[in-house]
Amino acid sequence: MTSKIDYTGVFAALPSPCVILGTDLAIADANVAFCEVTGRSRAELVGQYLFDAFPDNPGDPEAGGVETLKASLHRVLSSGQTDHMALQKYDIPIAGNPEAFKERWWTAINVPVRGPDGKVAWIIHRSEDMTDVVHARRTAQLPSVSPGREAAMEAELYTRARQLQQLNEELRQAHARERRIAVALQEAMLHSPDLADHPNIAVRYLPATGSLNVCGDWYDAVDLPGDRFTVTVGDVVGHGLMAATVMGRLRSALSAATRAVHGPAQALEVLGLYARSVEGALAATAVQVLVDCHSQLLIYSSAGHPPPVLLHPDGSCELLDQATDPPLGARPEHVPRPQANLTYTPGDTLVLYTDGLVERRGEDIDAGLDRLTSTLATCSEFSAEHLADALLARLDVASGAADDIAIVVVRLDRSTRPY
């Protein structure tokens, strides 16, 4: 009789560096090879958010390893397909001296592991350290590795190149024109240049499962004079290019209004008037929060949108639900929209989202809000990026949902101020 395979032992013994990630991108396990190549012990790694353990090298202005790897992992979560990564530079902290980094070049493959329900439950991240090969090519000298190891690395590069070539060809043949239009439209309409000045703001955008990578949900951030900025999320009914077109018009109009009027209520008033002339916009919703860093005040107004949540360090939550009005364009006559204020303390976290994050078929919205606040209560110490990923994972929508999802997470501390 064949003995039962010890898969834990197999994973530990794999010669390639491998790490298992949860859908919140926290490290669930790391094999011996991964620990050796990174100089970390398994105890140091397990439980950490991947990008807290391995941030970008702050001394390299061109560092892009975090962004590239994060994009690959989110592709795995949203598509349920294996993602092959080309050779990239991703420096890692030196063990025992986290402020210092050493240069490293990697190739990697991210493989989904599905749970009993068919959804992605884990991701296996397998990497190969190609630093010696890169250095050898720079100096035209043989790398200081054994001939067998050099041959293995060369074979790995060739295999990865062939895999990438095949995948790129498949992508070109699969709805190439529609996808180019959809991706270009999404990037153009969701581009928010002021976000670059806010390292403590994280955003997430997930189109509905099976859609064309565009949707009617949106997010935005606008810097204002006097240490103030706004964050906004909105939702247009429907999916696909038509909803995205309406979304783009509303988002642009609100961004302009925010810069010209005083406060979220007036901005949403202007947007509501404009929405009456936009076909498909009458049931759209939006919520905007103005963050006044000087007075530590949140000023907000909602047009039929689910309430943002203020998460405190002790895990308690407050709903921003005191200034809620009907959706955009719903009233036949103009009526001023309500506005409310709430003070915050540095260390609090503000979370805005669209209904796809909390609503479930056949369930009351209050149940979804309870689930959201209960989940947030366990994430009060997370960074904005970690919290955004944890929300998607723990609310079981990291692989996508039946509805579109947009999230904005703001860590409210001293560095929240716009530069």
pLDDT per residue as tens digits for the range 330-359: 877 777 899 999 999 999 999 999 999 999
> CA 322, CA 338: separation in Å to the nearest integer?
8
Report the relative pairing of strands 405-412 and 201-206 from DSSP bridges: antiparallel
> CA 162, CA 83: separation in Å to the nearest integer?
14
Question: Which contiguous run of DSSP H or E holds residue 170?
Answer: helix 147-173
Residue 156 has pLDDT above 70, yes or no: no
- Helix and strand tally (H, E) in the chain? 12, 18
Mean pLDDT of the chain: 87
Residue 96 has pLDDT above 70, yes or no: yes
pLDDT band at 407 (very low <50, low <70, confident <90, very high): very high
Average pLDDT over residues 137-156: 59
Average pLDDT over residues 34-40: 93
> CA 396, CA 393: separation in Å to the nearest integer?
5
**Closest listed residue to residue 24, CA positions, set 74, 60, 65, 90:** 74
Strand order in the sheet with 309-311: 201-206, 405-412, 348-353, 309-311, 317-319
Question: pLDDT tens digit string along 97-126?
Answer: 878 999 999 989 999 999 998 899 999 999
Q: Buried b / exposed e across 338-366, counting CB within 10 Å, b at 16+? A: ebbebebeeebbbbbbbbbbbbbeeeeee
Residue 70 has pLDDT above 90, yes or no: yes
Amino acid at 345: T
Instruction: Evaluate whether 418 touches 227 at the Cβ level (below 8 Å).
Output: yes
- Give the model's pLDDT for residue 27: 97
Query: Which has more confidence, 383 or 79?
Result: 383
- Give the model's pLDDT for residue 381: 93
Query: Which has more confidence, 193 or 53?
Result: 53
> CA 235, CA 251: separation in Å to the nearest integer?
10
- Give the model's pLDDT for residue 419: 44
Please, which residues bridge with residue 122 across strands? 22, 113
> For the ranges 147-161, 214-228, 368-382, which has the lowest average pLDDT?
147-161
> CA 57, CA 54: separation in Å to the nearest integer?
9
Q: Which residue has the tokens 């949540």?
A: 309
Average pLDDT over residues 86-106: 88
Residue 284 has pLDDT above 70, yes or no: yes
Query: Which has more confidence, 268 or 331?
Result: 268
pTM over 0.85: no
- Which of 18-22, 85-89, 136-140 is most confident? 18-22
Amino acid at 39: G
**Percent of the chain at pLDDT exceeding 90:** 60
Backbone angles phi, psi at 26, to 5 degrees: -90, 150
CA 312, distance to chain mean position in Å, is 21
CA 189, distance to chain mean position in Å, is 17
Instruction: State the DSSP string of 208-253.
Output: PTTS-S-EEEEEEEEEETTTEEEEEEEEEEEEHHHHHHHHHHHHHH
Instruction: Evaluate whether 281 touches 275 at the Cβ level (below 8 Å).
Output: yes
> CA 144, CA 136: separation in Å to the nearest integer?
8
Q: Helix or strand or coil: residue 268? A: helix
- Half-sphere exposure of 175 toward its Cβ, with a 13 Å CA cutoff? 8
Residue 288 has pLDDT above 50, yes or no: yes
> CA 347, CA 171: separation in Å to the nearest integer?
44
**Closest listed residue to residue 339, CA positions, set 303, 305, 299, 307:** 299
Amino acid at 169: E
pLDDT band at 409 (very low <50, low <70, confident <90, very high): very high
- Give the model's pLDDT for residue 216: 83
- Give the model's pLDDT for residue 166: 66
- Give the model's pLDDT for residue 79: 87
Residue 370 has pLDDT above 90, yes or no: yes
Q: Helix or strand or coil: residue 183? A: helix
